[in-house]
Amino acid sequence: MTSALPDTSELSAQLSEHMNGYLYTACLYTVTKAGIADHLTQGPRTAAQLAEETGLSAPHLHRVLRYLATREVFREDDHNRFTLTPMAELLRTDTPGSLHDPFLMLGEDLYWKPLARMYDTVRQGHTAFDEIFGAGFFAHLQTVPDTASVFNAGTAGFSRLWNQHIATSYTFPDGAKITDIGGGTGSLLREILTTHPHTTGTLYDQQSVIDQHQLDTPHTTGRWTVQAGDFFENVPTGADHYILKSVLHDWSDTDCLRILKTVREAVHDNTKLLVVDPVIPPGNQPHASKTIDVSMLAVVDGKERTQAEFEDILGKGGFKVTRILPTPSLMSIVECVPA
């Protein structure tokens, strides 16, 4: 007597949904770019009304919104009107914790085209980005100012989700001099200086980035400076705390060692280095760090790291990990001292 074959229909449906995941991303990008969530702040709208306000095709927009409603992004009522849901609220431009700018960033060709070459990346052992765009990620950004602005806004949007948690999870002593290496437009340093009013800070990044800095607020007046440079070449000396937030994950181990070498040359014996990145947990459970890790693999040859991998790369770079502080956000603070 033969046993009945297992029913795989449900598994097939789940796997098929995974296979079509890029459709979800494309639809999210479309409604974000069109500002649909902002248009729905005044109340329910049909796709036809939204299309008139945004210049889109009403039948096509309806189909996209209907699909997103199956994922609890928007809700369709019995009168074919769409309303905001808690998730859709995060697509608004004016809501705390907005993901509007990050979603616009992730919808750029910078991400889409390399992800379409994932097989080649895994086969070759390096990103196909250079083959697609003719230069590495950050070198390419310098040639496309409009795209660079979208990227800077997107990364700043993600940072706003984490900065307060980072600033309040680490105690900087009074009088501490802090240098944020590759600190972008300074949103984290501004939050740290605001939270710790007896500290001073320097924002260090490329000139085109620090030209857009956000440090000049009433809470930080007189306590900040900016300095342009390349962290592969050198970093400012004289700080008590150096921060590398969302920097090491952008680079391969080889390039990380180049960065850590310049930091090691700048520090003194009592300096602390704070590496702020996700730490990949063990096990098979979903975790955002594992998702971001694959994006880093495909786009920039970077990587998220486990605790052991942080200890290894930082040890090779001349630092010893003293503790790892989790924060209420995705980010952890890996505190190091010169070895």
Q: Is the pLDDT of residue 5 over 80?
A: no
> Does residue 190 contact residue 165 with C-beta atoms inside 8 Å?
no
Instruction: Give a yes or no: residue 103 inside a domain.
Output: no
- Look at residue 104 and tell me if it is in a domain: no
Q: Are 212 and 278 in a shared domain?
A: yes
Confidence class for position 4, pLDDT limits 50, 70, 90:
low
> How crowded is residue 88: how many other Cβ atoms within 10 Å of its Cβ?
22
314 within domain boundaries: yes
pLDDT, tens digit (0-9, with 9 covering 90-100), for 127-182? 999 999 999 999 999 999 999 999 989 998 999 999 999 999 999 999 999 999 99
Q: Flag whether 107 is in a domain.
A: no
**CATH value at residue 88:** 1.10.10.10
In a domain, 105, yes or no: no
Q: Do 142 and 231 belong to one domain?
A: yes
Cα separation, 248 vs 255, in Å, equals 9
Average pLDDT of the residues in 234-253: 97
How confident is the model over 174-194, as a mean pLDDT? 96
Residue-by-residue DSSP string for 237-295: S--SEEEEES-GGGS-HHHHHHHHHHHHHH--TT-EEEEEE-BPPSSSS--HHHHHHHH
The whole-number pLDDT of residue 9 equals 85
In this structure, are 45 and 135 located in the same domain? no
243 and 273, same structural domain?
Answer: yes
Last residue of a domain, one of 27, 62, 95: 95
Number of structural domains found in the chain: 2
Domain CATH code at residue 243: 3.40.50.150
pLDDT digits (tens, 9 = 90+) for 298-335: 999 999 999 999 999 999 999 999 999 999 999 999 99
* Catalytic residue (one of 39, 100, 241, 249): 249
Identify the pLDDT of residue 82: 98
- The residue segments making up the domain with residue 161 are 112-338
Residue 14: inside a domain: yes
Sheet holding 75-76, edge to edge: 45-46, 81-83, 75-76
Decide which of 43, 70, 95 is a domain's last residue: 95
Same domain, 31 and 148: no
pLDDT given at position 6:
65
Averaged pLDDT score across all residues of the chain: 95
**Mean pLDDT in residue range 114-127:** 96
Note whether 59 and 118 are same-domain residues: no
Residues 91 and 215 in one domain: no
Indicate if the pLDDT at residue 252 is higher than 80: yes
Q: What is the mean pLDDT of residues 195-212?
A: 94
pLDDT, position 208: 87
Where is the domain boundary, 66, 95, 124? Answer: 95
100 is a domain residue = no
| Catalytic residue status for 249 | yes
Mean pLDDT of 63-88: 97
Q: Cα separation of 210 and 213, whole Å?
A: 5
In this prediction, residue 27 has a pLDDT band, given cuts at 50, 70 and 90, of very high
Question: What is the mean pLDDT of the segment spanning 253-269?
Answer: 96
The reply to whether 202 and 78 lie within a common domain is no
Q: In terms of domains, do 143 and 26 share one?
A: no
131 and 50 housed in the same domain: no
Task: Specify the pLDDT at position 48.
Answer: 98
> Do both 245 and 120 map to the same domain?
yes
Check whether 3 has a pLDDT greater than 70: no
- Confidence bin at 95 (pLDDT 50/70/90): very high
3-state secondary structure of 242: strand
Please check whether residues 51 and 177 belong to one and the same domain. no
- The pLDDT of 26-52, averaged and rounded, is 97
Instruction: Please indicate, yes or no, if residue 157 is contained in any of the structural domains.
Output: yes
> Given this model, what pLDDT does residue 55 score?
97
Mean pLDDT value across residues 234-257: 97
Mean pLDDT of 208-233: 94
